Amino acid sequence: MSNIQSNSRIGIFGFGCVGQGLYDVLQTIEQAGIEVAGICVKDKEKPRSLPASTFTYNPQDLLQDESITIFAELISDADEAYSIVTQALKAGKTIVSANKKMLASHLPELIELQHNYNGTLLYEAAVGGSIPIIRTLESYYSSEPLQQVSGILNGSSNFILSKMESEGLSYSLALQQAQELGFAETDPTLDVGGFDSVNKLCLITAHAFGLTITPEQILRFGIDTVRKEDLEFAKTINARVRLVASAEVNPEDELSLRVLPTLVTDQKELYHVTNETNGVTIDPVFAGQQFIKGLGAGSRPTGSAVWADVSAALSGYRYSYPKTAVKTIALNQDKKIDIYLRCPADSSLPEANWENLVKVQETGEAIYFTAILPVSELQNISSYLAGKQIFIAEITAEQAMDIALKFSENEAVVYS
């Protein structure tokens, strides 16, 4: 911290969960040596923990203040965040953002703006809360090829699944708790629908594999259709349901990107990642597999990640997107994956190139299947499946066999 200018002034946009976390960190770390120049918020009526003189309601009051060294954009409105970040970058300023939706939607433009105007944008807090995943991929693994980066990237979904499993909470009560604890997005559909994990995976992909892709290119299923029956089914094969985001490269340099509920066995690290904790596995070609976990949501953990970016930026750190120079990897969603499906009794599966489609169990309420399908086919039928409240989860080929054996007394029906 010694090389941070002691007269640095920070302008903060947003004073919600993350903004307050950053403020708290800045107040607690005495050596921070950073003066809060002002905090811009939207709602004039909302009671605040700081004197009214600390706040401004016009972003331009901060953006045009030449005495400010660095900005922290910590608001939930993605359009407003885009406008703040682009204005700062066009002025060649340094800004830290935690708005993963905005970042994922505009990443190529934001990279170009940094290049054209010599501004700096860092966003560690946007992915995995307190876990230093972006900087690890960007800096430490700048020159080692990676085979896979995958993990739990949404604290709220993991909190809900954990509470349903361990305390038998209903889905809606667990979601309500995630909201009360400040883990969930303002619109929690972003969490439980898998959108938030998709946005984070876009950012990971840019640093890990040098590809800027749009959120729509990623296969996405969330946990919004999960029922306690799915958790019970997972238990029969010693697994838990986890919402896993994965970016996986095959030997032909083809990259598969997906966010899917996954039945994770007790042999895997992610099985033991509970509540709002996130966990990410990195598979470098030479180093061997690594796993990093930490608090993925919440005021102080996310504030800590923003502070790490602020102090790094003030010391001159910026992203160079080193993997973009090596353009060998291309997105290819033809990878075939094994899946588990639970269809409500009044629904049926759509036409698709199902392989090994096996009915493993039928109850009054639902029919359970396992099958194999390419990721691209699942993308094509994802709206249909979501509309019919059909829950799907990725499984391994070994789990598919395990399920076939466990449920063989139910006379599994092979469809194709």
Instruction: Kindly tell me which of 297 and 313 has the beta carbon lying closer to ligand HSE.
Output: 297
Instruction: Kindly tell me which of 301 and 374 has the beta carbon lying closer to ligand HSE.
Output: 301
> Hunting for tokens 């809900």 — which residue is that?
160
In this structure, are residues 280 and 289 in contact, taking their beta carbons and an 8 Å threshold?
Answer: no
Instruction: Kindly tell me which of 183 and 369 has the beta carbon lying closer to ligand HSE.
Output: 183
**What's the CA gap between 170 and 382, in Å, rounded?**
25
113 to 91, 93, 175: CA distances (angstroms): 10, 11, 38
Indicate the residue type of 54. T
Instruction: Kindly tell me which of 165 and 191 has the beta carbon lying closer to ligand HSE.
Output: 191
Query: Cβ 279 to ligand HSE, closest distance in Å?
Result: 12
Instruction: Kindly tell me which of 13 and 183 has the beta carbon lying closer to ligand HSE.
Output: 183
Q: Which long-range contacts (CB under 8 A, 24 or more apart) does 27-36 make?
A: 29/307, 31/1, 32/1, 32/4, 32/307, 32/311, 33/1, 33/4, 33/6, 33/8, 34/4, 34/8, 34/9, 34/10, 34/310, 34/314, 35/7, 35/8, 35/9, 35/10, 36/9, 36/10, 36/12
Query: Cβ 21 to ligand HSE, closest distance in Å?
Result: 11
Phi, psi of 261 (to 5 degrees): -55, 145
Query: Cβ 268 to ligand HSE, closest distance in Å?
Result: 20
Query: Cβ 299 to ligand HSE, closest distance in Å?
Result: 10
93 as an active site residue: the answer is no
**Based on the number of CB atoms within 10 Å of its own CB, is 210 exposed (0-12), middle (13-18) or buried (19 or more)?**
middle
Query: Cβ 179 to ligand HSE, closest distance in Å?
Result: 10
Choose the catalytic residue: 100, 200, 293, 323: 200
**What's the CA gap between 101 and 194, in Å, rounded?**
12
Q: Which residues lie near ligand HSE (CB under 6 A)?
A: 129, 154-156, 183-185, 191, 196, 296-297
Query: Cβ 107 to ligand HSE, closest distance in Å?
Result: 16
> Hunting for tokens 């560690």 — which residue is that?
124
In this structure, are residues 16 and 78 in contact, taking their beta carbons and an 8 Å threshold?
Answer: no
Instruction: Kindly tell me which of 191 and 338 has the beta carbon lying closer to ligand HSE.
Output: 191
Neighbours of 212 (CB within 10 A): 18
Catalytically active residues are 200
